[in-house]
Structure formats: C-alpha cells, structure tokens
Amino acid sequence: MKRKQCSSYVSQSRAPALIACVFIVCACVLSCSSNNAVVVKRSDVSIEKRIYDKNNRPDDKVSSHPSVEANTHWDFEFIPEIGFERTSLKEHGNEFVSVVLVKKVEITLALPIQIWLPASATEKVIAHEGGHVEICRHFYSSAEKCARAAAETLVNREFSGSGASESESMRIAVESAGAALATPYRNAVILPANRASSIYDELTKHGQADIPVNVAVKAAIEQAMRVPLKSE
C-alpha cells in the first residue's frame, strides 16, 4: 500500500553557554505512517583533546572562557525533523492562516566536547576540565528520555501560523511546533548542564580551589537541579 507523504521540518539547536535555535524548512519528506511516529537517535559523547599554543588556538567562542590556562567547550546538539500535514489554510484579507498537524518526529542527539589545554597543563588543571566533561555526561545520560518525552507530546498536535503569504504562514506554524519540541529539552538538559558548569567553576574558583573534583561536580549538579526548570 502506498504511504501518504507529509512535509518535513528541520530544527537545529546547539548550545554551549548560550542557547541558539535556527529553524529551517527542509525539502525532504518523512513518511507519515503511524508506525515509529517518534524516533530518537543518540550518539555517544565524543571528546577531543587539543593542545594549544600561539599557532593553534581555540576559536573566539571557546577562548572567551575566564580560565586563561585551559577550557572546555561542548555542544548539546538537538536536530529534529518534524513530519506534518497542513490541515487548514484560510485567507483573511491580506493575511493567511495555516494549521499543521504533526505526524512524525525524528530527533538526532549528539554531544561533541573539545578540551583545550596548554602543553604545560598541570594534573590539577586537567582534572578540573574533566569535571566539566562529567557534568555534561550526567545531563546527557537523560537526553534521549527527555527528547522522546517532548516528541511524544507533539505527535497529533496542531499548530497555527499567520503570515502575509501562504508559505510564510506555514513556516510560522511549523516553527511553533519546533519551539514546542525544543523548549522542554532545553529546560531539562541544556540549561541545567550550563548552570551546573557555572556553579562548578564558582565552587572550584576555576580549578584553583582545593575542593576535590568529584565533590564539586556532585555539589554543582545538586545546586543546578534546585533551580526551577524554566527558559533563561
């Protein structure tokens, strides 16, 4: 039996310290069959250690870290494709209103981490940067569960959008769906991880204090999780 096809929508959210979302309408299509309405693909954490000197420096985003001796950069990659059908299109004067029904959600998750160290980095500095990695691992361990839960609430929901043209109204409708999908994941995984890393740096004075790394990591995670889950 021939499967009905629906449009596809791709959203990308990559977040180290700041959260940024870029929404892209994709030309490909997803099958709108009822089977596997939610698919989450989670890659393992990838860690790259880089030695830097005057000829090999991290980019500006990484090097802005307050530590002058070493730093760690991470991206919680969240890339969904949303399959949808447009169920309604109305024109009111010069305005178009589109309604889309979400039929399928596929999400790809990844966590690439870069650790930048000078060749002269001490064991204490290396251990401190490893603490940031452990914090990221902790929150990424629940990433698949959080992404799946968010996606399941999206399937069979309708979203509307208004615009000056038919295409603009549909784009705004699917962007609304993308925001509804990304926000719970951002609140449950990305923001707490970033908060915990900031708290960890405060507790350890960016690796200069004598507090053991494992103690600081545990305390930072606990403090971060006490903050209400809301967008920042």
Condensed to tens digits (0 to 9), the pLDDT of residues 113-154 reads 999 998 889 999 999 999 999 999 999 999 999 999 999 999
22 occurs within a structural domain: yes
Judge whether 6 and 81 are in contact, CB under 8 Å: no
231 occurs within a structural domain: no
At 176, which helix (H) or strand (E)? helix 166-185
218 occurs within a structural domain: yes
34 occurs within a structural domain: yes
d(CA 6, CA 36): 15
CA separation, residue 70 to residues 38, 117, 136 (Å): 40, 5, 17
More confident residue, 45 or 8: 45
Q: 97 by DSSP, 3-state: which?
A: strand
Percentage of residues in the chain having pLDDT higher than 90:
67
Condensed to tens digits (0 to 9), the pLDDT of residues 215-225 reads 999 999 999 99
pTM reported for the whole predicted model: 0.80
232 occurs within a structural domain: no
Judge whether 98 and 86 are in contact, CB under 8 Å: yes
Residue range(s) defining the domain that contains residue 196: 5-225
At 139, list the tokens. Answer: 């929150």
Judge whether 216 and 204 are in contact, CB under 8 Å: yes
What's the structural domain count of the chain? 1
201 occurs within a structural domain: yes
**Residues 189-205: what's their mean pLDDT?**
96
